[in-house]
Amino acid sequence: MEALIPVNVIIGDRTYRLKIEPEDEETLRRSVKLINEKIIEFRGTFAGKDMQDFISMVLIWFTTEQSKNGGQHFQLEETISKLSQMEELIDKALSGSS
């Protein structure tokens, strides 16, 4: 197993420092780029909401897209698991910076 590498990502208006497998870096960066693009899209469509609302809209959009793609539930479950892992890493990073 390779050593984890530190990566800083910005989602919405927050910076998160994560430690990931080196082979996951490109996928993570593409995902973050897509998330931020969708946040900008939703901000232009639904003015006056806060960042949490836009992030929630992105999550709803993402899961809906996953469901439309042939009902690939195994990928959705894997994605949910990975999102949960990312959430744990973010929570740890936030609690460590307080």
pLDDT of residue 71 exceeding 60, the answer is no
Average pLDDT of the chain, as a whole number: 84
Q: Is the pLDDT of residue 73 over 80?
A: no
| Confidence at 65, pLDDT banded by 50, 70, 90 | confident
Q: pLDDT per residue over 14-31, tens digit each?
A: 999 999 999 999 999 999
For residue 89, give every residue at least 6 positions away whose Cβ sits within 8 Å of its Cβ, in sequence order, or none: 16, 18, 19
Higher pLDDT, 67 or 1: 67
Instruction: Render pLDDT for 35-57 as a digit per residue (tens, 0 to 9).
Output: 999 999 999 998 777 888 999 89
Total domains in the chain come to: 1
Q: Which residues sit opposite 19 in a β-bridge? A: 6
Task: Write down the pTM of the prediction.
Answer: 0.66
The range of the structural domain enclosing residue 60 comes to: 5-97
pLDDT tier at 70, thresholds 50, 70, 90: low
